[in-house]
Amino acid sequence: MYKILVRPLLFLLDAEKAHYFTFSLIRFLSKIGFSSIFRSLYVVSDKRLEREVFGLKFKNPVGLAAGFDKDARLFNEFSDFGFGFVEIGTLTPKPQDGNPKPRLFRLKSDQAIINRMGFNNSGVFDAVERLKKDHRVLVGGNIGKNKVTPNDEAVKDYLICLDALFDYVDYFAVNVSSPNTPGLRELQDKEPLTALLKELKKVNTKLAVKNEVKEKPILLKIAPDLTDDQLLDIITIVKDTNIDGVIATNTTIERKDLNSDLIFTEEKGGLSGKPVGNRSTEVIRFLAEKSGKAFPIIGVGGIHSEKDALEKLEAGADLVQLYTGFIYEGPSLVKRINKELLKNA
């Protein structure tokens, strides 16, 4: 139904307008009682789907990637579509509008999206007010820095977000890999990244002791454009800083073998969807093999089918996340993946 009726109508709208319209529609339908209908259609409940990763128990291994619910507005509602966890953000300390519009583009022939949103969000403290309500699903907090914050002061922004979200999310994702904030990817270099993660770990420990709770898992989200040497550095950094895992991968700045019109493929921003699928899986496999599976990996990038999800899990991912595949395939994709996993359980 989604691909036959809903998607064609949404694709008549500008991509960003379609996103906000979808949010409004989901919110409205949930308020008038459709939550139970969505759950009956899409949720697959089975103990065999449960996964325990970095100390958390996930109902199933399929999550919604960051960037979809930036401001933590519908995390509970998205659980009704069968997701085992929802990652909100990227959140920054101060609200920011992001980059000028248009900034979101569909590459239909490639089943892909290019975005240069630029961490548009209402700020971490605004999101916290919504996160105070009860959660029906595990929630990850994806954190970043404001555009106006220079890199040599970036640690402060990440710490503000960590402190604000500590009581309200189940894990943290450190985003230093978006291509849409100038200079952000420079923080992936070994020295600044090590310093950032060590500081986050230190404050995470202090907050845990203060609140008499366990430390929150901290994951690093990396770009698919890193070289093998840089990926080896990532393995070393994860081990040296003792963070809990890696999310592989963010969007790519590569534009290889695309079929869509140049008017779209030459747009600046990060490319997601099918074209990044193979590279994401390569990165997952490299990290898993070279590290000896020393840390958990969340695989994301180009998952548009059950087969795509299984490939990432077989390559070494412990969990997977959807974004562009969810837009092109609809919520039935979550159910199909979980059903396929049960066949192999």
d(CA 144, CA 147): 9
Is the N-terminal amide bond of 249 cis, ω within 30° of 0? yes
Residue 345: what pLDDT? 83
* pTM of the predicted protein model: 0.98
The structure tokens listed for 89 are: 């953000």
Residue 42 parent element (H or E)? helix 35-42
* Residue whose C-alpha is closest to residue 82's, from 137, 33, 30: 137
Helices (H) and strands (E) in the chain, counts: 13, 13
Q: How many CB atoms lie within 10 A of CB 3?
A: 11
Residue 289 has pLDDT above 90, yes or no: yes
Domain boundaries along the sequence of the chain:
2-343
Asked if 74 and 234 touch (Cβ cutoff 8 Å), the reply is no
Residue 209: what pLDDT? 98
- For 81, list phi and psi in degrees, rounded to 5: -95, 10
The one catalytic residue in 79, 122, 177, 178 is 178
Over residues 305-325, mean pLDDT? 98
Quickly state the pLDDT bin for 255 (edges 50, 70, 90).
very high
CA angle (42 as vertex; 38, 45 as ends), nearest 5? 115
C-alpha dist (Å) from residue 36 to 81, 87, 123, 327:
10, 22, 31, 22
Over residues 71-100, mean pLDDT? 98
Phi-psi region of 292 (alpha: psi -120 to 50; beta: other; left: phi over 0): left
C-alpha dist (Å) from residue 340 to 5, 215, 274, 309, 343:
25, 33, 20, 10, 5
pLDDT tens sequence across 225-247: 999 999 999 999 999 999 999 99
Over residues 324-332, mean pLDDT? 98
pLDDT tens sequence across 138-176: 999 999 999 999 999 999 999 999 999 999 999 999 999
Is the N-terminal amide bond of 102 cis, ω within 30° of 0? yes
Phi-psi region of 93 (alpha: psi -120 to 50; beta: other; left: phi over 0): alpha
Look over the chain and give the mean of its residue pLDDT values, rounded to a whole number: 97
Query: Hey, which CATH number is domain 2-343, 3.40.50.1970, 3.20.20.70, 3.40.50.1580, 3.30.428.10?
Result: 3.20.20.70
Sign of CA dihedral 253, 256, 261, 262: positive
Over residues 299-328, mean pLDDT? 98
Residue 10 has pLDDT above 90, yes or no: yes
- For 28, list phi and psi in degrees, rounded to 5: -65, -50
Asked if 178 is an active-site residue, the reply is yes
Q: In this prediction, what percent of the chain has a pLDDT beyond 90? A: 99
- For 70, list phi and psi in degrees, rounded to 5: -60, -40
Residue 288: what pLDDT? 98
d(CA 201, CA 191): 16
Name the burial class of residue 17, with classes exposed (0-12), middle (13-18) and buried (19+) by CB atoms within 10 angstroms of its CB. middle
Across 189-200, b (16+ Cβ under 10 Å) vs e yields eeebbeebbbbb
Residue 344 has pLDDT above 90, yes or no: no
pLDDT tens sequence across 175-226: 999 999 999 999 999 999 999 999 999 999 999 999 999 999 999 999 999 9
* Residue whose C-alpha is closest to residue 184's, from 219, 218, 143, 215: 143
Residue 1: what pLDDT? 86
The structure tokens listed for 141 are: 């907090």
Residue 248: what pLDDT? 98
Q: What is the DSSP letter of 305?
A: S
Residue 69: what pLDDT? 98
